[in-house]
Amino acid sequence: MQTLTEIRQLLAERGLRPRHRLGQNFMHDKNQVAKLVGAAALSPGDLVLEVGPGTGTLTEALLEAGARVVVSELDQGLAALIRERFDDRVTVLEGDCLTGTHTLSPAIQATLGDQPFVTVANLPYQVASPLMVLLLQNFNNCRGIYATVQLEVAQRMTATAGTKQWGPLTVMLQLLAEVERLSVVPASSFWPKPKVKSAMVALRPRSQALVEDSAAFGRFVTQLFTKRRKQLGAICPDWKASSLEFDWTRRPESLTIPELVTLFKFEKTAKAQREVS
């Protein structure tokens, strides 16, 4: 596994340097890399998607675990470095992993197809949240996400109803998966050292969907949380006048996922009835 000295050398030989704009902080702590790969509990032959491989420290560990690795790398120089280091042992997809913020890149979609896969990555902070939601929401063949993200994001991911961090991102991720924060990763594990703390998280998809249309549920929750401090009865007087048993003085920020699902299904049915009449 690469040392910090080797990472610096690989970049210097190619005239490359970490690009802050792309959130490039390279993990060089061997123990942290091993912990992330171990959490994924990979079997030989498993297909793994890695986003933002950097110089390939984690990639190397994934290959040693017997995984078939697909990497997505936006930086042209780093994509070339990965191709040079690993030849045909790794499938390199050069370009942004996202098309806008709501669609996974066509190249990733085509490469993964309907094959079961696991995502294992030190995710660039700016793509972590939308990418995780997209993978869980749109790919029934995603068997899990094991990633290093910004600590603040990890705290939001594992928040509970009624707390400051409880919001649409938290609701959607917990709707789609069991979310676990595995550990806090010190800044010294990366080069350059990030100014924010990081954490390792595991997202294991739920065996049964809590709603049939998670995209519509996501839009409902996002709209509802724009009024997170208003009472439910004031947000929609029709709800208060309905037969649904609910404490209409409560606010969206206090609702648990089962309660949000109940409200979503009720509103969906009421909307359909309104359209018919």
Are 64 and 180 members of one domain? yes
Point out the domain boundary residue: 154, 187, 205.
205
Q: What is the C-alpha to C-alpha distance for residues 85 and 188, in angstroms, rounded to an integer?
A: 25
* Cis before 192? omega within 30: yes
Q: Provide the 10 A C-beta neighbour count for residue 206.
A: 12
> Which CATH number do you get for residue 235?
1.10.8.100
- First-to-last alpha carbon distance for the chain, in angstroms, is 66
Residue 126: the pLDDT is 84
Residues 6 or more apart whose CB falls under 8 angstroms from that of 185 comprise: 27, 29, 32, 148, 197, 198, 199, 200
pLDDT for res 277: 61
42 and 168 inside one domain: yes
The helix (H) or strand (E) run that includes residue 83 is helix 76-86
Check residue 276 and give its pLDDT. 66
- H-run or E-run covering 199: strand 198-205
- Reading phi first (left if > 0) and then psi (alpha if -120 to 50, else beta), residue 148 is in beta
Do residues 15 and 132 share a domain?
Answer: yes
State pLDDT tens for residues 89-119: 999 999 999 987 778 999 999 999 999 999 9
Amino acid at residue number 156: R
Domain boundary among 164, 181, 205: 205
* Residue 246: predicted pLDDT: 87
- Predicted confidence at residue 244, as pLDDT, reads 87
**pLDDT averaged per 10 residues in sequence order, the chain, 277 residues:** 92 92 90 97 98 97 98 96 96 93 90 96 91 93 97 96 96 97 96 94 95 94 95 89 88 96 89 69
Asked whether 95 and 70 are in contact (CB, 8 A), the reply is no
| Token code pair at residue 230 | 């208003």
* Shared-domain flag, residues 18 and 147: yes
* pLDDT one-digit tens code per residue, 20-31: 888 889 999 999
Q: Which residues contact 94 (CB under 8 A, 6 or more apart)?
A: 73, 74, 76, 79
Number of independent structural domains in the chain: 2
In a shared domain, residues 144 and 233: no
Same domain, 101 and 9: yes
Q: Any idea what the CATH number is for the domain that residue 182 is in?
A: 3.40.50.150
The residues pairing with 149 across neighbouring beta strands, listed in sequence order, are 199
Looking at the structure, tell me whether residues 200 and 250 fall in a common domain.
Answer: no
Q: Distances in Å between the alpha carbon of 205 and those of 27, 95, 174, 220, 242?
A: 26, 27, 9, 21, 34
Same domain, 171 and 68: yes
Q: How far apart are CA 37 and CA 67, in angstroms?
A: 10
Residues 201 and 220 in one domain: no
> Whole domain around residue 262: which residue ranges?
214-276
Give yes or no: residues 167 and 243 share one domain: no
* CB-based contact 157:148 (threshold 8 Å): no
pLDDT at 100: 77
